[in-house]
Amino acid sequence: MYKIERTDFGVRLIFDGFMKQEEMAKWVAESEQFVKSLPPKFGVIVDMRGLKPLTAEAEKEMQNGQKLYKKSGMERSAVILSSAVVTMQFKRIAQETGIYQWERYIDASKVANWEEVAKKWLVNAEDPDK
Protein backbone atom coordinates (compact mmCIF):
# COMPACT_ATOMS: atom_id res chain seq x y z
CA MET A 1 0.00 0.00 0.00
CA TYR A 2 1.17 3.52 -0.75
CA LYS A 3 -0.15 7.00 -0.17
CA ILE A 4 0.92 10.38 -1.59
CA GLU A 5 -0.02 13.49 0.41
CA ARG A 6 0.73 17.17 -0.16
CA THR A 7 2.08 18.99 2.91
CA ASP A 8 3.29 22.48 3.82
CA PHE A 9 6.90 21.33 3.22
CA GLY A 10 6.16 19.36 0.05
CA VAL A 11 5.21 15.69 0.11
CA ARG A 12 4.56 12.84 2.52
CA LEU A 13 4.89 9.38 1.01
CA ILE A 14 3.72 6.34 2.94
CA PHE A 15 4.74 2.82 1.96
CA ASP A 16 3.40 -0.13 3.93
CA GLY A 17 3.42 -3.90 3.76
CA PHE A 18 4.71 -6.01 0.90
CA MET A 19 4.72 -3.96 -2.30
CA LYS A 20 4.99 -5.77 -5.61
CA GLN A 21 6.38 -4.32 -8.82
CA GLU A 22 2.90 -3.55 -10.22
CA GLU A 23 1.91 -1.43 -7.23
CA MET A 24 5.25 0.35 -7.20
CA ALA A 25 4.86 1.12 -10.93
CA LYS A 26 1.39 2.54 -10.18
CA TRP A 27 2.97 4.81 -7.52
CA VAL A 28 5.54 6.07 -10.05
CA ALA A 29 2.81 6.79 -12.63
CA GLU A 30 0.66 8.63 -10.06
CA SER A 31 3.74 10.54 -8.87
CA GLU A 32 4.48 11.71 -12.42
CA GLN A 33 1.19 13.62 -12.35
CA PHE A 34 1.44 14.66 -8.70
CA VAL A 35 4.87 16.34 -8.95
CA LYS A 36 3.53 18.71 -11.61
CA SER A 37 1.50 20.46 -8.89
CA LEU A 38 4.49 20.99 -6.58
CA PRO A 39 6.60 24.15 -6.23
CA PRO A 40 10.03 24.23 -7.92
CA LYS A 41 11.74 23.12 -4.66
CA PHE A 42 10.22 20.86 -2.00
CA GLY A 43 10.97 18.32 0.72
CA VAL A 44 9.74 14.75 1.11
CA ILE A 45 9.03 12.63 4.19
CA VAL A 46 8.99 8.95 3.28
CA ASP A 47 7.27 6.91 5.99
CA MET A 48 8.41 3.30 5.55
CA ARG A 49 7.90 2.09 9.09
CA GLY A 50 5.68 -0.77 7.92
CA LEU A 51 7.32 -1.55 4.58
CA LYS A 52 8.70 -5.03 3.92
CA PRO A 53 11.90 -5.47 1.86
CA LEU A 54 11.35 -4.94 -1.88
CA THR A 55 11.83 -7.51 -4.62
CA ALA A 56 14.39 -6.67 -7.32
CA GLU A 57 11.55 -5.73 -9.71
CA ALA A 58 9.85 -3.43 -7.18
CA GLU A 59 13.24 -1.92 -6.33
CA LYS A 60 13.73 -0.85 -9.97
CA GLU A 61 10.41 1.03 -9.82
CA MET A 62 11.45 2.68 -6.54
CA GLN A 63 14.63 3.86 -8.24
CA ASN A 64 12.54 5.37 -11.05
CA GLY A 65 10.41 7.15 -8.46
CA GLN A 66 13.40 8.51 -6.55
CA LYS A 67 14.90 9.88 -9.77
CA LEU A 68 11.53 11.44 -10.70
CA TYR A 69 11.18 13.27 -7.38
CA LYS A 70 14.78 14.53 -7.48
CA LYS A 71 14.44 15.71 -11.09
CA SER A 72 11.15 17.43 -10.20
CA GLY A 73 12.65 19.63 -7.45
CA MET A 74 13.14 17.54 -4.32
CA GLU A 75 15.78 19.34 -2.23
CA ARG A 76 15.90 16.94 0.72
CA SER A 77 14.13 13.83 1.94
CA ALA A 78 13.75 12.18 5.31
CA VAL A 79 13.13 8.43 5.32
CA ILE A 80 11.44 7.05 8.43
CA LEU A 81 12.18 3.38 9.04
CA SER A 82 11.98 0.74 11.74
CA SER A 83 13.61 -2.25 10.02
CA ALA A 84 17.37 -2.70 9.72
CA VAL A 85 16.96 -4.73 6.51
CA VAL A 86 14.79 -2.08 4.81
CA THR A 87 17.19 0.64 6.00
CA MET A 88 20.16 -1.12 4.39
CA GLN A 89 18.18 -1.71 1.19
CA PHE A 90 17.14 1.93 0.86
CA LYS A 91 20.57 3.35 1.65
CA ARG A 92 21.93 1.22 -1.19
CA ILE A 93 19.12 2.29 -3.56
CA ALA A 94 19.75 5.97 -2.74
CA GLN A 95 23.46 5.56 -3.48
CA GLU A 96 22.64 3.92 -6.81
CA THR A 97 20.17 6.67 -7.82
CA GLY A 98 22.41 9.52 -6.68
CA ILE A 99 20.10 10.99 -4.03
CA TYR A 100 21.96 9.70 -0.96
CA GLN A 101 23.55 13.06 -0.09
CA TRP A 102 20.10 14.73 0.15
CA GLU A 103 18.49 11.93 2.14
CA ARG A 104 18.54 11.24 5.88
CA TYR A 105 17.40 8.05 7.58
CA ILE A 106 15.58 8.20 10.89
CA ASP A 107 14.96 5.05 12.93
CA ALA A 108 11.46 5.51 14.39
CA SER A 109 12.14 2.79 16.97
CA LYS A 110 14.90 4.98 18.46
CA VAL A 111 13.68 8.52 17.76
CA ALA A 112 10.29 9.24 19.36
CA ASN A 113 9.94 12.70 17.75
CA TRP A 114 10.93 11.47 14.28
CA GLU A 115 8.45 13.74 12.48
CA GLU A 116 9.82 16.87 14.16
CA VAL A 117 13.41 15.79 13.39
CA ALA A 118 12.45 15.08 9.76
CA LYS A 119 10.78 18.47 9.29
CA LYS A 120 13.84 20.27 10.70
CA TRP A 121 15.95 18.53 8.06
CA LEU A 122 13.51 19.32 5.23
CA VAL A 123 12.74 22.93 6.11
CA ASN A 124 15.89 24.20 7.88
CA ALA A 125 18.57 21.72 6.70
CA GLU A 126 19.24 20.74 10.35
CA ASP A 127 21.07 17.47 9.80
CA PRO A 128 19.78 14.74 12.15
CA ASP A 129 23.05 12.85 11.71
CA LYS A 130 25.06 15.61 13.42
Span 99-104, average pLDDT:
89
Q: Rounded to two decimals, what is the model's pTM?
A: 0.92
Mean pLDDT estimate for the chain: 94
What per-residue confidence (pLDDT) applies to 33?
97
Positive or negative, the Cα torsion across 16, 84, 47, 43? negative
Beta-sheet strands, E only, within 1-130? 2-6, 10-17, 42-51, 74-81, 103-107
Instruction: Indicate the pLDDT class of residue 83, thresholds 50, 70 and 90.
Output: confident
Give the Cα separation of 93 and 126 in Å (integer): 23
What per-residue confidence (pLDDT) applies to 94?
87
Domain boundaries 2-124, CATH class = alpha beta
